[in-house]
Chain A
Amino acid sequence: MATTQAEQRVSPRAVQVGRRPARRARNGPLAVGLTLPALLIFAVFTILPTAYTFVISLFDWNPLNVAQSRFIGAGNYTKLFGHATPSFAASGLTSLYFTAGMVIGGTALSLAIAVLLQRGGALLGAVRVAVFVPHVTPLVATSIVWVWIFNPQFGLANAVLHLFGLSGVDWLDNSATAMPAVLAYSLWHEVGFTVVIFLGGLSVISGELGEAARVDGANRWQEFWYVTWPQLRPVTVFVVTISTISSLQAFTQFFLMTGGGPVHATTTLSFLLYQEAFVFFHTGYAAALAVVLFVVTALFTLLQFRTRRSSSR
């Protein structure tokens, strides 16, 4: 179940548009009236603001004194490709690192756990709940817990390494390990949701094909690879898309666990946007970042619609 507001906006892609026979009654005014409250909220807080972002991105905006703002045209956009640190390109790569980790790692991990936990009795049911629980916990609360887990001197993570005779790691304080550490936390938090999506997918696929494959002498792995997984294709596409979009937007764990550091190693586009807008108050530049982020997300969304349409043919 989606638990962030971002996901709420995303999940519906799961639901197919059904075809209904024509209804004869004239419902125009009523229908418009019924959709109006929702559309009004979207208009005021989503649609107009999106356009407004574009306007702000053309200004050297002074939030302290708007009268001192200057129109600079594409100035903020050319700055995106300038020498600011962390550069737009570097943050893009950091976002890509995180997103790839979440999408590839998350999909593989949740698929594996789903296969492990499918069907089965009360014990496996309890494990399903255990895997899902982290997903309903607030990101603020559990990010704090994981900062403590990753404490190099007294934390659980190094205690586990110690148990296996390995030496401790600086986790969040080393630019090489900070992102893997945030990824570990984020996977812990997000995987429960995608596991359940895969379980839902596994519960409705046909078992007969698998039987047939086994009759033909396929082993478990071949059965999974050639028979089960292909049937989960729409579910996988959904999981990949939702993970991509929510990873691009991830912010809270970076804010609390690393503050974008060390050495910008965890400054993703979302974090950079926040930092430029609400720490350094380079509002116009941040708005330009937002426009780019919007275009990237919209492209992913459209791509997903495309894939969906072609896969359902």
Chain B
Amino acid sequence: MHVRPGGAPSHVRRRRRPAGPVVRRVVAVAVGLAFLAPFWWVVTTSLARTSDVYRFPPSLLPHWHVANYARAWAAAPWPRLFGNTVLVAGATVVLAVLTSVLAGFAFGVLRFRGRTALFTVVLAVMMVPQTVLLIPDYVIAQTADLLDTYWIQILPWGASVFGIFLVRQFFAGLPTELFDAAELDGAGRLRMLWSIGVPLVRPAILIVALNVFLGSWNSFVWPFVMTSSPAVQPVEVGLATFYGAQGTDWTGLSAAVTFTTVPVLVLFLALQRHFLTGAYSTAGGLK
């Protein structure tokens, strides 16, 4: 596949080097730039005058035409939409972390009759795709008067199979003696969960929280179907609506895409170590 530099016999080398360092770096940088190119493209477009945009081949340098941002910002109730997203995502995280810690503790630490059966139920939940749930949950929400509310965006995602598994796994990995300290009653065990357990599984909680938060922030079809008024709709649905209404205003659209995506990117860059750790630990469990 590749010509090795120098003449040293391969078995002499101790370090594992899959490719020549320079070639490898050049290829790696090219790959990285390819993945970043769409970001550059949307920011450039968002800062261009209309006359710069409709040109071929396109100009790839920004023109600092910030009026697009003002126009896009004025075209929809963005602060409300952002607020809705933060509220829905935040409440979903709180609920999902809570249910995950409680159930994860029960499955990971306690031994009780019916554990396998209940666990099988949780497993079965994974088999149901979200798309399948759209219709019946819509009818249920309609019956329960939950359509077009925050509730229908929060409650269904307030329990996470992934969260229960991960927390359970962390608890199962703790030394048995920790929770064997004394014969405790139910309340005592709850206190123990709160004071000893929760701090020990904090990494898992963070991973679950990030996962659920991003999942909620990025979800589209669920809120799009379940809600109809901007008073409760999240920002991504607002963005799709904006796209439907202003589909020809590419500079304004690009500005809206940029300012709605930046919060997620900032969150990711600030916490990227945890994101990557989360994914790594997923792979680690595969061994």
Contact = CB atoms under 8 A, between A and B. Distances in A.
Interface of A: 1-18, 20-35, 37-39, 41-42, 44-50, 52-53, 56, 113, 115-120, 123-124, 126-134, 136-142, 144-146, 148-149, 153-156, 158-159, 162-163, 188, 192-193, 196-201, 203-204, 207, 210-211, 214-215, 219-221, 234-235, 238, 245, 248-249, 251-252, 255-256, 270, 273-274, 277-278, 283, 286-287, 290-291, 293-294, 297-298, 301-302
A248 B107 CA distance: 30
B41 A123 contact: no
A146 B38 contact: yes
B247 to A, nearest CB: 9
Interface in B91-115: 98-100, 102-103, 105-115
Contacts of A252: 220-221
Given A138-B217, A139-B220, A283-B135, 20 more contacts: A9-B130, A12-B166, A27-B112, A27-B186, A29-B186, A30-B112, A42-B122, A53-B135, A127-B29, A129-B272, A145-B41, A148-B253, A149-B38, A149-B41, A154-B56, A196-B280, A200-B279, A200-B281, A251-B131, A298-B128
B24 A116 contact: yes
A273 B56 CA distance: 39
Of residues B33, B215, B281, which shows the largest number of chain A Cβ atoms within 10 Å of its Cβ? Answer: B215
Interface in B234-287: 236-237, 239-240, 243, 250, 253-254, 257, 260-261, 264-265, 267-269, 272, 275-276, 278-287
Contacts of B195: none
A293 B129 contact: yes
B61 interface: no
Contacts of A15: 165-166, 168-169, 282, 285
A302 B123 CA distance: 10
B279 A193 contact: yes
A155 B86 CA distance: 33
Which 6 residue pairs are nearest across A and B when measured between Cβ atoms? A200-B283, A12-B165, A49-B136, A127-B32, A200-B280, A45-B156
A256 B155 CA distance: 26
B129 A201 contact: no
A145 B257 contact: yes
A14 B225 contact: no
A27 B215 contact: no
A148 B131 contact: no
Interface in B189-223: 189-190, 207, 210-212, 214-222
Given A1-B207, A3-B215, A144-B257, A290 B132 contact: yes
5 contacts: A27-B186, A47-B125, A145-B38, A220-B2, A294-B129
Given A156-B58, A198-B283, A201-B286, A50 B131 contact: no
B231 interface: no
Given A1-B211, A200-B284, A235-B283, A154 B58 contact: yes
Contacts of A2: 162, 211, 215
A18 B18 contact: no
Contacts of A32: 106, 112, 114, 118
Interface of B: 1-2, 10-11, 16, 18-19, 24-25, 27-29, 31-33, 35-39, 41-42, 45, 53-58, 98-100, 102-103, 105-115, 118-119, 121-122, 124-137, 139-140, 155-166, 168-169, 172-173, 176, 179-180, 183-184, 186, 189-190, 207, 210-212, 214-222, 225, 236-237, 239-240, 243, 250, 253-254, 257, 260-261, 264-265, 267-269, 272, 275-276, 278-287
Contacts of A145: 38, 41-42, 254, 257
A158 B115 CA distance: 57
Contact of A12 (B98, B126, B190): B126
A148 B215 contact: no
B112 A116 contact: no
B215 to A, nearest CB: 4
Nearest to B275: A1
Given A1-B214, A154-B55, A256-B240, A234 B286 contact: yes
Given A2-B162, A138-B260, A131 B56 contact: no
Contact of B172 (A20, A49, A124, A251): A20
A141 B158 contact: no
Contact of B280 (A136, A199, A210, A211): A199
Contact of A9 (B98, B162, B282): B162
A129 to B, nearest CB: 6
Nearest to A152: B56
B38 A41 contact: no
A117 to B, nearest CB: 6
B46 to A, nearest CB: 10
A95 to B, nearest CB: 11
A133 B275 CA distance: 10
A173 B100 CA distance: 45
A9 B161 contact: yes
B236 A140 contact: yes
A16 B99 contact: no
Nearest to B283: A200
Contacts of A8: 157, 160-163, 211-212, 215
B135 A286 contact: yes
Given A249-B131, A290-B132, A131 B31 contact: yes
Contacts of B38: 134, 142, 145-146, 149, 156, 188
